[in-house]
Amino acid sequence: MHVVSHSCKPCLCLCVFDRTYHADIQTEHVTMDYNSDPEELTHTYSPKFNPHKQSNISAVKFTVAAKDERTVIVNITDPLTSIHDYGKQLTIRDILKNDLKYKISYYKSGSTGKRDVISNSSVAEVSQLDAGESYCFMVAAFIPSRPKSTQQGAWSKQLCNQVHKTVLQELSVGAWVGAVFIVLTVVIVIVTVTVLCCKRRKQRNKAPYTAQLSAPA
C-alpha cells in the first residue's frame, strides 16, 4: 500500500477555522488499477475536529521586566501553529484573534497564595506588587469562548524576577523584634547604671559636708 497524499495546504483545506472537519482516509494497494472507483477503496473516517475550539495550545514563552517598584511588564510570545498562509507561518493570535487571552498566575517568593490576571493582549501589566519583593510568574493561553475542557493551554515554565535586597530588608519580623528588644535592654541597662552612679556620687559628696556640720566649734 502507499499514501497518495499525506498532507495538504491548511489554508486551502482548513481556510475556515471555526468549523467542524473530518478526514476520509483511503488506502490503495500498489498493484491496484488507478482507474478504479475511489468508493471501492478501503477507507476510514477520522473523528470530527474543530481547529478553533479543540486544537491543543502549547506552552508559551515570556519575559518579565520591572516598570517600577510595584509594577512589572509581562511580554508574551504568541506560539506558532503548523498553518502557513502564503509562506507566512501563522500564530495562534492570527487564528484566534480577539478570542485569545492570556492567564498570568503569580505569587510572592516564599508564599503559597497565588493570584491570577487575565490579559487581552500579549503585553500585560501586573501592578500592586509589594515593593522590594521577588515574584514568580507562569503564563498560559486562555480562550473563554471554548468549552471548559479546552479553554486553557499548557502552563509555561515558571519565571521569577530577582530583587536584590539590603541586609535590613532581608531581616524577618522576628529578627526585627529581637533587635529592638536587645536595643531596649541595652538602653535600660545604661540608664540604670547611670542613675546608680549619680546616686553614689551624691552620697559621697554629701558625707564630708555632714561631717563638717557635726564637728564641735
pLDDT digits (tens, 9 = 90+) for 182-212: 888 888 888 887 878 887 777 776 655 555 5
Inter-CA distances, 191 with 138, 202, 204, Å: 55, 17, 20
Whether residue 62 is found in the same domain as residue 123? yes
CA 140 to chain centre: 9
- Asked whether residue 96 is domain-assigned, the answer is yes
Of all residues in the chain, the percent with pLDDT exceeding 90 is: 35
Q: What is the mean pLDDT of residues 92-103?
A: 93
pTM of the model as a whole: 0.64
Express each pLDDT in 18-75 by its tens digit: 788 877 777 766 665 656 665 666 777 788 888 778 888 999 999 999 999 899 999 9
Structural domains in the chain (count):
3
What does the alpha-carbon distance between residue 54 and residue 18 come to, in Å, rounded to a whole number?
10
Note whether 64 and 136 are same-domain residues. Answer: yes
Give the range among 7-16, 39-48, 97-106, 107-116 with minimum mean pLDDT.
7-16
Domain that holds residue 30: 10-52
Q: Is residue 216 part of a domain?
A: no
Q: Which residue has the higher pLDDT, 78 or 41?
A: 78
CA dihedral 14, 16, 20, 21 (to 10 degrees): -20
Q: What DSSP string runs through 167-212?
A: HHHH--HHHHHHHHHHHHHHHHHHHHHHHHHHHHHHHHHHHHHHHH
Do 92 and 27 lie in one domain? The reply is no
Q: Give the residue carrying C-alpha cell 506552552.
A: 59
**166 vs 85: which has the higher pLDDT:** 85
